[in-house]
Amino acid sequence: MELLILENECKKHLYCDLLKESILYDSKYDFDANIEATKHYNNANLNNKTIIYAENILPCTGCVSCWFRTPGKCILNDKANSYASNLTKYDKVTIVSELKFGTFSFPIKRLIDRCVGYLGTFMDIVGDDIRHEKRYEHSFSLDIIFYGQVKDKEMQIAKEQVKAMCKNYYIKDYKIEFLNIKNQVNKHFVVNKNSELDEMNYINFIYNNFFLNDYNNIKEYLSISRNFLANTFDNDPICIQEKTLIINASPRANNAVSKFYAKYLKDKIKNSNLINWSFDKCISVEEIIELLGYKSIIFCYGLYVDNMPSNLLENINRINAFINSCIYINSSQKNNEELISYLKSKNIYAVANNGLKHGKENELSLLSMELFSNNSNLNWVMGLGIGAGPLYANSKENIFDKDYALPVKEALNTLQKAICSYNIKENYNNIYTDGYIELNEYKEMLNKIWKIQLSKSINNTKK
């Protein structure tokens, strides 16, 4: 049986629809040669193919119930709650995803994150790290088709991303294809300010080209953007407050390990604010504008299936769309250069932590953050990847007094220095730290915790 996972049912891209048809009907796709050709199919056999759309799926909340409370099943009540166990019905899975920041689109990432229950609860040692065991005696082959504006760097990161995900999910047999779609935005749109029809066309053009599909009121969006360009930014081009915004972007909000690292930085950085981004509310345009008022922005998050969690991916997509649509809207204005240097004066940092021992696991997510920053004309500075992140955060004592926690403490202090005394001439590099515990000990420790949690939830179900 084959499973085809697509982003959404409505046509975001004509290409995407054609791609779906060609996969379903085993016809060959050759978009540039002849779009119509893909529509002629014979002997269609859909019996062994199932399609699911990655729409109306809630983001993973990081509650890990699928590993202990309801093993293999997600507790969120929507169509994706049994996707993890349903994967066992298929021997081939094809995913079509837009390529954004070297990784999956956020709707596809939502689905991927919601499938972690496919992995077993307990940990094992595989190679030089621990891993979740397999839950099922099952495997599938995976085809990934990335479409979008495919640049070399994006492509390289995406290849590593798929490789890492396949290692995580015990997938041996996989294939990646890239489908480059030309950028429409370069075609300049001429607007006659006096014509209402042209204004509507202009709005539609912005709507379609910046993929703002989920903004209900595009006219309002445009008016807020114009207001930002005319007032917030233009009246105060040096509004660069010497202020730092620390975002706990984990969907686990107050229970997040990220909150611990965010709080550590907050206590060390004068003039800083700490906010939580919840999993169920994405960032509004007003909040994006507020965020851009800060000099430094630090994203703190946990690693979810080898990249950032889907709620964060969605928010950085929104920030990116807002910025690029503003640059476009402002492109005929004299002050567009100023807008770009205003954006470039915003320093971006990230603190990623992960469950496995090695901090390097976070590398792809930091590269995605860097691509997001570059693509948004923001200034990427550096990131931290903290291996075995929960070990430090969940300690009952002040772990940073202990020698073995010194590398993490030093890494956080280096980041703090890079924020407080940023120097454009200096070269900043990402820092990775590994958990201090020996592998076998770490595995035993986690398995003991999982065992207690599992038996607690079994006892609760019995009551």
Binding residues (CB under 6 A) for ligand FMN: these are 60, 62, 64, 113, 116, 168, 250, 252, 256-258, 302-306, 353-356, 361, 389-390
Q: Measured from the CB atom, is 51 or 64 closer to ligand FMN? A: 64
Least distance in angstroms from the C-beta of 400 to ligand FMN = 17
Query: What is the smallest separation between the CB atom of 300 and ligand FMN, expressed in angstroms?
Result: 7
Nearer to ligand FMN, 257 or 378 (CB): 257
Q: Which is nearer to ligand FMN, 361 or 363 (CB)?
A: 361
User: Nearer to ligand FMN by C-beta: 15 or 67?
Assistant: 67
Q: How distant is the alpha carbon of residue 262 from its chain centre?
A: 19
State in angstroms the smallest separation of the CB of 445 from ligand FMN.
14
The burial class, CB within 10 Å (0-12 / 13-18 / 19+), for 441 is exposed
Question: Shortest Cβ distance from residue 420 to ligand FMN (Å)?
Answer: 23
CB of 161 to ligand FMN, least distance (A): 11
Give me the least distance between CB of 443 and ligand FMN, in Å please: 13
| Shortest distance, position 356 Cβ to ligand FMN, whole Å | 3
CB of 94 to ligand FMN, least distance (A): 22
Instruction: Report the nearest approach of ligand FMN to the CB of residue 291 (Å).
Output: 19
Find out whether 357 and 392 touch, Cβ atoms under 8 Å. Answer: no
Residue closer to ligand FMN, measured from CB, 18 or 265:
265
Closest CB to ligand FMN among residues 60, 229: 60
Q: Do residues 79 and 130 lie in contact, with contact meaning Cβ atoms separated by under 8 Å?
A: no
What residue is closest to ligand FMN based on CB?
Answer: 302
Q: Which is nearer to ligand FMN, 5 or 388 (CB)?
A: 388
Name the residue nearer to ligand FMN (CB basis): 116 or 206.
116
User: Closer to ligand FMN at the Cβ: 179 or 247?
Assistant: 247
CB of 321 to ligand FMN, least distance (A): 25
Side chain identity at residue 2, one-letter code: E
Choice between 90 and 261, CB closer to ligand FMN: 261
- Report the first-to-last Cα separation within the chain, whole angstroms: 39
- Tokens representing 129 are 């790290």
Q: Select 148 or 309, whichever has its Cβ closest to ligand FMN.
A: 309
Least distance in Å: CB of 179 to ligand FMN?
A: 26
The candidate with the shortest Cα–Cα distance to 2, out of 44, 47, 38, is 47
